Amino acid sequence: MKRIILVRYGEIILKGLNRPVFEGKLVNNIKKSLYGLGKVEVVKSQGRIYVEPLGEDYEFDRAIAKLTRVFGVVSVSPVWKINSSFDDIKFHSLEVAKDLLERNRFKTFKVETKRGNKRFPMESPEISRELGAHILENIPSLSVDVIHPDFILYVEVREFTYIYSEIIPANGGMPIGTNGKAVLLLSGGIDSPVAGWMIAKRGVEIEAVHFYSYPYTSERAKEKVIELTRILSSYCGPINLHIVPFTDIQLEINEKCPQDQLTIIMRRAMMVISERIARAVGALALVTGESVGQVASQTIQSLAVTNAAVSMPVFRPLIGMDKNDVIAIARRIDTFETSILPYEDCCTVFVAKHPKTKPQLAKILLSESRLDMELLISKAVENTEVIKITPGKN
Ligand code: ATP
Ligand code: MG
């Protein structure tokens, strides 16, 4: 008997001829996510992936936590792998039930059997019935409830037999690296980490860009963005974080442009710089955390003027979402607590009291013509610091 992890994946099964490519990526991403936890074998078989530790000291619980963050994984179960003989199945089913009762106050159960191995001499209902009876006989405190059982003992009879009771949901999506690369404009706020996570979930590799206005924003604000990137990397694998010095650009805009245009011109500069970085790293799109109407710079008019600064597609996965929905995701993916730390963002340093909510592109272009944007932007790109962020210990 061996304790292993069963990994289920879903949507990529639909990918027809490309299926082996998607599965290969998923297996690879799984191996990478488990790096450093001990020796392990990752085997794909019949539409599932089995993670089999090779030593006794394997960090099993951490492996499960990591696997639930790999995109493409639908759910994960810790399972017992045993030989497909009915005596063995009977013996171990009881052991697993006893073990569960040591940790939980369960009163009712049912057995659910799937028989993939048609050479096995008993049919599924018969296996379930016999195992149920065997457990009832040996654990008198339990009774069967087929509708709302406290636990289900799943028995899958294949070449080997797998017994388990727990199905831990994961995020689904597509394996990272199956859908190209995009550049995420990552602030220290609540929205952009969620936006990046949503796009990454679809298999898109992410590079992050952060605009940093030292000394108007502090070292700690930068640390916060590094931490947010680290959390994202626990889902995506290592992420390059580009820290762009933005102070000079902001000072210049602040000095030469009308106050009510500051935010929109600044946001256009961010887009232009991000697009350049995207081209340099081979990314095909930009991602932001904007949503319609949330603030003055996110009215439809403002978004249109911001968009006009670049020719690359800009993905805004939160575009139609309410803040509460975004917060719910931020909590679930663990970015919320870091996002609400009270360090300033460069957008909050130079802001007008009454920013334009309906900017006109022609007027914005006229203001921009007073700036030496090209020089400032090239300087900012040149002085960008790139940090490779890897998932933390946990
Ligand atoms: P967030 O919570 O992501 O900060 P927000 O609702 O506060 O978003 P804004 O501050 O207007 O909105 O920013 C809109 C988007 O612009 C952000 O979601 C992010 O993609 C990008 N952005 C804003 N500030 C920065 C920054 N300092 N560095 C990189 N991207 C930024
Ligand atoms: Mg913000």
Is cis: bond before 149, omega within 30 of 0? no
What is residue 392's predicted lDDT score, i.e. its pLDDT? Answer: 76
Compute, in angstroms, the gap from residue 119 CA to the centroid of ligand 2. Answer: 61
- Provide the pLDDT confidence category of residue 12 given band limits of 50, 70 and 90: low
Label residue 45 left, alpha or beta by phi (over 0 means left) and psi (-120 to 50 means alpha).
beta
Q: Distance between CA atoms of 272 and 276, rounded to whole angstroms?
A: 6
Phi, psi of 359 (to 5 degrees): -65, 150
Architecture of the CATH domain 2-169: 2-Layer Sandwich (3.30)
- Take atom 31 of ligand 1 and give the residue whose Cα is closest: 187
The b/e string for 221-260 (b: 16+ C-beta within 10 A; e otherwise) is bbebbbbbbbbbbbbbbebbbbbbbbbebbebbeeebeee
Pocket mutation for ligand 1, best pick of 192, 194, 211, 271 (most atoms within 8 Å of C-beta): 192
Q: What is the pLDDT of residues 88-135, one digit of tens each?
A: 999 999 999 999 999 999 999 999 999 988 899 999 999 999 999 999
What is residue 122's predicted lDDT score, i.e. its pLDDT? Answer: 93
Fold of 181-389: Rossmann fold (3.40.50)
β-strands 151-157, 108-115: how paired?
A: parallel
- Residue 348 vs residues 32, 243, 266: alpha-carbon distances, Å: 38, 17, 11
Compute, in angstroms, the gap from residue 182 CA to the centroid of ligand 2. Answer: 20
- Take atom 23 of ligand 1 and give the residue whose Cα is closest: 187
Q: What is the pLDDT of residues 310-359, one digit of tens each?
A: 999 999 999 999 999 999 999 999 999 999 988 766 656 676 777 778 88
Atom index in ligand 1 nearest the CA of residue 209 equals 29
Domain ranges of the chain: 2-169, 181-389
- Take atom 30 of ligand 1 and give the residue whose Cα is closest: 185
- Whether the domain at 2-169 and the domain at 181-389 fall into the same CATH topology: no
Pocket mutation for ligand 1, best pick of 347, 351, 357, 384 (most atoms within 8 Å of C-beta): 347
